[in-house]
Amino acid sequence: MSLPASLFDPHRVLLDANLGSKKRLLEALAKLFSNDESEQNEIFEKLLERERLGSTGLGHAVALPHARIESLAQPCAAFIRLAEAVDFDSPDGDRVKLVVALLVPQEATDEHLKLLAGIATIFNQESLRQELSGAETPEAVLQLLTG
């Protein structure tokens, strides 16, 4: 299984980032997704709001922060590989090193759930996690995620 290529853009892939905390990670994701400071703040607040409901850590050092954004026309995703793992309150207690974030339009409930399930399924594969940990370029990451 792979993810739709339309979700990703190489400019929304950050490799070996030194972010240090969950909050700084969410801030970096908001920056990857946004075109301006106002949009960045809205995305950060929505991601943070979702985390307050419960951690989006999946286990296996993977997190899947996600949010619905009213002004968004199409779903989009970003990927960050951290240089040093951060605490994410994951169910298995593992610190997070691989992060895929998903933003969807406010009304895209079914699509949102299908995309989340698809992402969770592919990140359950140890071989993919290992390949992503070693990928050297954003394009290599996107090839692994989208096939």
Q: Active site residue: 11, 60, 66, 112, which one?
A: 66
pLDDT score of 108: 79
- Number of domains into which the chain is organized: 1
- pTM for this model (two decimals): 0.94
Radius of gyration, CA atoms only, the chain: 14
C-alpha–C-alpha distance, residues 56 and 65, integer Å: 5
Read off the pLDDT of residues 56-113 as tens digits, 9 standing for 90 and up. 999 999 999 999 999 899 999 999 999 999 999 888 889 999 999 999 999 877 888 8
**Catalytic status, residue 66:** yes
Q: Which of 81, 24, 78 is nearest to 48 (CA)?
A: 24
Residue range(s) defining the domain that contains residue 142: 5-146
CATH assignment at residue 90: 3.40.930.10
Residue 2 confidence (pLDDT): 84
